[in-house]
Copies of this chain bind each other. A is one copy, B any other.
Amino acid sequence: MVPVTTAPTQRLSPTLDPGRRLLRPALRDAVRSHLGPEMSRIAQYHLGWADAEGRPTGTWGGKMIRPNLALLSARAAGAADTDGLPAAVAVELVHNFSLLHDDIMDGDETRRGRETAWAVFGVPNAILAGDAMVTAATSALLASPAPGAGSAAASLMAATQRMIDGQTCDVAFERRDQVSLAECLRMARGKTGALLGCACALGADLVGAEQPLIDGLRAFGEHLGLAFQLVDDVLGIWGDTRSTGKQIGADLRVRKKSLPVVAALNAPGADELRALYLGSGPLPEHAVGRVADLVEQAGGRRWAQEEAARQTAAAEQSLAAAEMPDGVRGEFLEIAGFLLGRKL
């Protein structure tokens, strides 16, 4: 097992760059042709292309991991990456729909260093903009003449449903004192794994690939998604603000039931941790460090790192078993390594 120790870097993987050049105009076209003018304005703000008045920012939000995986997925099936563009656009729209609605639910006022859409345009408009983006995702896929457009749209909706289910569990866990590790893993598989798995398979699905390739790519992405969530959860407790943008203890302050915490809460002798952590309202500042230590002492950090390594190994196995050109496999591994913050 390979321990996951280094933090995700913000440096862009070279593999992501060509994809971004292809994706920008395609995503821009999709937003302009499938969303109404008002919703398009909010979507462009949320995506980082425009300011609140609709003026171009000249920048671009997000790392576009998922759409790049979708382009690679089409290439894995022997198609050109341009053939995978509708899948890439659709998966990025669904990802951003979830961010828009999650920011409302979590009451988060900033994202990527800017005010969130609901904070700028109000909750009703941000709800509608999310609705418009998930609707446009299906439209973008079904507008493709590719043989697998219907199958890809069905896969994307199934993954979206699992993602919604995962987010629902996350919301429900906040109010529960008892959450098992199995429940928490299922939540993370839905919330993070489902869409990442879908992204890795969607391009192949769209271009009409054989089912074993689609299934293998989806399994790769689902394991990768869970590994990413575990790494992200570790960083949410012990993370380094400079290299990740995440504040140390950020997840603990809001008493988040992340995977390492739930592992620790279910370990023997977690009485002090339970007494400190279960409750409502922000965790007092003086307790943050103590909780982090207790989670570590109970084995939550070690388990999360080991589980991330197991999931990473399972992702690599799934990828190795799927038939595709070696160059494409290498690029999948490069993006996975970028996502997990280390070479694979």
Interface positions of A (Cβ within 8 A of B): 34-39, 97, 101, 104-105, 123-125, 127-128, 130-132, 134-136, 138-139, 142-143, 149-150, 153-154, 157-158, 160-162, 164-165, 167-169, 171-172, 190
A165 touches B131 (CB 8 A): no
Q: Which B residues touch A161, using CB under 8 A? A: 34-36, 132, 135-136, 139
Q: Which B residues touch A139, using CB under 8 A? A: 154, 157-158, 161
CB proximity of A117 to chain B, nearest CB, Å:
13
- A168-B134 CB under 8 A given contacts A124-B105, A127-B104, A143-B154: no
A164 touches B128 (CB 8 A): yes
> Could you pull out 8 A-B pairs where Cβ atoms are within 8 angstroms?
A35-B161, A101-B127, A105-B128, A128-B164, A132-B165, A136-B157, A138-B138, A138-B157
Q: Which B residues touch A39, using CB under 8 A? A: 164-165, 168
**Closest residue of chain B to A190, judged by CB?**
B36
Q: Which of A127, A136, A162, A167 has most B Cβ within 10 Å? A: A127
Q: Which of A124, A134, A165 has most B Cβ within 10 Å? A: A124
Copies in the complex: 2
Q: Which of A157, A172, A190 has most B Cβ within 10 Å? A: A157
B36 touches A165 (CB 8 A): yes
Q: Which B residues touch A138, using CB under 8 A? A: 138, 153-154, 157
Q: Which B residues touch A35, using CB under 8 A? A: 161
Q: Which B residues touch A136, using CB under 8 A? A: 157, 161
Q: Which B residues touch A125, using CB under 8 A? A: 168, 171
Q: How far is the CA of A157 from the CA of B141 in the complex (A)?
A: 11
Q: How far is the CA of A123 from the CA of B126 in the complex (A)?
A: 13
Partner of A168, one of B97, B123, B128, B172: B128
Q: How far is the CA of A131 from the CA of B98 in the complex (A)?
A: 9
Q: How far is the CA of A107 from the CA of B7 in the complex (A)?
A: 43
**Closest residue of chain B to A167, judged by CB?**
B128
Q: How far is the CA of A127 from the CA of B132 in the complex (A)?
A: 13
A165 touches B38 (CB 8 A): yes
A164 touches B132 (CB 8 A): yes
Q: How far is the CA of A127 from the CA of B168 in the complex (A)?
A: 10
Q: How far is the CA of A252 from the CA of B214 in the complex (A)?
A: 55
A131 touches B38 (CB 8 A): no
B105 touches A127 (CB 8 A): yes
Q: Which B residues touch A149, using CB under 8 A? A: 150
Q: How far is the CA of A199 from the CA of B285 in the complex (A)?
A: 55
**Closest residue of chain B to A132, judged by CB?**
B164
A135 touches B153 (CB 8 A): no
- A142-B130 CB under 8 A given contacts A135-B161, A161-B34: no
Q: Which B residues touch A150, using CB under 8 A? A: 142, 149-150, 153
Among all A-B residue pairs, the 3 with the closest Cβ atoms: A36-B165, A105-B124, A142-B154
Q: How far is the CA of A107 from the CA of B315 in the complex (A)?
A: 45
**Closest residue of chain B to A97, judged by CB?**
B131
Q: Which B residues touch A158, using CB under 8 A? A: 139
A130 touches B128 (CB 8 A): no
Q: How far is the CA of A171 from the CA of B169 in the complex (A)?
A: 30
Partner of A101, one of B128, B143, B160, B165: B128
